[in-house]
Structures are given as C-alpha cells and as structure tokens.
Amino acid sequence: MRAKGEGSIVKYYRKGVFSGWRASIMIGYNDQGKKQFKQFYAQTQREVKQKLEDYKRKMLLGTNNGNTLTLEKWFYTWITEFRSHDLKPKSYSRYIGIYHKYIEGSSLGRVKLGVLRTTHLQRYYQTLLDQGVTPSTIEQINTKLKTCLTEGERQGYIDKNYCKLVVLPKIKRDDKIHVLTKEEQDVFLIAIQGHEMEMLFITALATGLRLGELQALHWKDINFNTHEITVNKTLQKIPIYDKDKVVKYEVVEQRPKTKNSIRTVPVPSKVIDRLKDYKLLQQDIFNQAGVSSDYVLCDAVGVPYESKRPTRTLQRLLKELGLPVIKFHDLRHTYATRLFEKGVPPKTVQVLLGHADIDTTMNIYTHVMKDQKTQAVNCIDELF
C-alpha cells in the first residue's frame, strides 16, 4: 500500500496473461476537471518502481540539481507526501510544527536546495539565537532538517547534507532535577488520603511509571500473585492531520517508543493490597453508574484522566500543603531517588525506569550519587 502522492504499482495483464508491471501517478486535472495520470511499464517491479521514482524526482525539481526547488518546498513535500504514512502522529506533529514556525516563509526556507550550504544554516541559526530561540530548539530544527536532507541526498536532489557540518550552539543542561524528599513525600501521601487521584499518585511514586504508561494500565497488566506490573503500552493524545492541518485529536494506546520501555516492574506489597481494595471500590462505582471499563487509573466513568489534569491537580495539592511545586513527571524522579537512597545499583534503576542506556540514568541522578559518594567515604573514615 503506497501513500497518497507516491503513485501506485500493480501487475498488468493482456488478454488475461500477465505482461509485466505498471506504475501510475496523478499529474493533474484536464479541462473537464478529471484526473490525469502518467503511466510507466516494465517487466519487473523493480524496474517500474525506478521509472516512477525518476519521474517523481524530475517532476519535483523542474530542472537538475535543485536549481528551482527551495528548501521550504522540499521539506513540505517530503514530510506530507513521503513521511506522513510511516511517522507516528506525535513525531509527524513535531515535524509540521518545525516547518510552520521555522521553515515556512523564512530566509532559510527560500534558499534553493541546489545552492544550500553550511553558511546559510549557520547564519540562520545565529539569527534565531539572537531572537531568543534556545540552543535546544535550534538543535531540534537542525535534527529535523538533517533527516529531511538525508532523503534529498539519497534521491539525488543535493550532493551533500550540510546540516551534518553545522556547529550548533552549546546547550546548557540543567543538571538539577526536582524531587520530593522522603519527609515531603510522607506529608503528601497522608494529605491525599481519600482524594480522587490518590491511587494514581501512589502508583506513580511506587513504580516510577510515566504518566502515559499509568494511564494505559489495564487490570490484566497487574499480576496480584507476583506483585508485578507489566508495562507494554502508553496512552497519548495525538493530532490527526490532513497534510499539514490538524483535523481532530484522538486519545490512543500505542507501543512504547523504545523496547527498553517494555518492562515488568515489581510493586511493593502494601501498594498491591491498596490496588486490590481500590479495584473492588472502583467496580462498585462502575456498577452503580452502569459503566464498563478495564482501565485501572481513571475517572468515575472509566475514562483515563485528561493528560494535563494530573499535573494541575498535583501542583494545586502541593501548593496547599506548602510543599515544593513539581511536575507529575517529577514523581518518577522521586521514585528513582528513593531507590538510590536505599543503595539500589544504577543498572537496576535503569531497567526499572525503562531507560535506553545507563548514561541517561546516571546523568539525571548525579545529585543522588554525590550524596552516596560522601556516605561511602564516611564509611571508611574509621580506618584512618
């Protein structure tokens, strides 16, 4: 199945006998408003596909070497015609966002693809930097453009991907993460007793799951015998596009972005007991309301909480208690911090959190490791 705008390739027959392959692509409309197609024939599927790709490249460029095709036009064509069918909606949305905000109508976007050089990119990025755009955002722009131009290079539109040669501004990483101390966590857990989202906050602090992973939990994902939760999906609100326009939003379950995120997380026994009681209470509420839902952490009618609501609720509660106001994701950091404080090895923490590599874990939690190093030195103090 080929995406819209890519053309079609099918077998063709003459008098019922297979005669080869035919490629077809729409090239416009005639005076009567009917679609017009360009067709190609070959003995093999590979040959006809090559003919189609060659024609598409010439049709897009107009002339050789990209002398008439602008970066703006190529980026738009590439993302809407060639990538819309294989990118996840969230990723597609990020590419479209970069296009509208930083490529469309910009001085860089108007540069002809055939004459684009590192200087154009470097100058444009410096202009953005002067306008207050963060180095992190500039890095994202260059990453998206690099992917786009890699395909342009592969198809012969450009000779070199100059995004690879750009010197990007240094990103000042904020190594400080925000967590609740053990004492603050205890105060919070006591204060939320009986709250609608109590079980959501408890499960977050007890497992370190991301919000989308918590929202996607079904009761079948919890093994009450082994005291484990299986994480194999995430819930996301995604935009549905028609070309570059959002036509609606949908809440969908998706596979996690990386294979490391698919994991089994042990749950403390006390939390398992709380989940058992919560399940019975939830079932009573659903029965009274005539609701059928298998979601674990949801509202009274079985619908997962809207994505922004948990953070807003958390921050309001923390503010009322006079505690540091943190984001929902910081409950995940708090969970990891408790593990490090108890001496859990970094590699184990990495697996529990679903990080792709140990560096990610260590870079985030260096503040805890510093305290551990001090404690380690104090332990051998008596030797001297």
* 123-142 pLDDT, tens digit each: 999 999 999 999 999 999 99
Residue 271 has pLDDT above 90, yes or no: yes
What class is the 62-172 domain?
mainly alpha
Alpha carbons 236 and 210: distance in angstroms, whole number: 11
Q: Whole-model pTM? A: 0.68
Q: Above 50 in pLDDT, residue 65?
A: no
Indicate the pairing of strand 228-231 with strand 222-223: antiparallel
- CA-to-CA dists, residue 80 to 109, 139, 152, 372, angstroms: 16, 22, 14, 50
Q: State residue 200's pLDDT score.
A: 97
Residue 307 has pLDDT above 90, yes or no: no
- pLDDT band at residue 101 under the 50/70/90 scheme: very high
Please list, in sequence order, all residues whose beta carbon lies within 8 angstroms of the beta carbon of residue 365, skipping any fewer than 6 positions away. 177, 333, 336, 337, 340, 346, 349
Angle between helices 198-207 and 269-289 (to 10 degrees): 150
Q: What CATH superfamily classification does 182-378 receive?
A: Intergrase catalytic core (1.10.443.10)
Please provide the size of the chain in residues.
Answer: 384
Lowest pLDDT segment from 12-21, 41-50, 57-66, 309-318: 57-66
What are the distances in angstroms from CA 205 to CA 208, 271, 326, 336?
6, 10, 13, 9
Residue type for 205, please?
L
- Could you state, in order of their start, the residue ranges of all structural domains in the chain? 1-56, 62-172, 182-378
Please name the helix (run of DSSP H) or strand (run of DSSP E) that holds residue 289, with its range, or none.
helix 269-289
> What is the average pLDDT across 61-82?
75
Exposure on the CB side of residue 138, measured as CA atoms within 13 A: 22
Sign of the CA dihedral with 321 first, then 325, 330, and 333 last? negative
Q: Which residues, other chains included, contact 206 with Cβ-Cβ below 8 Å and sequence gap of 6+?
A: 267, 268, 271, 335
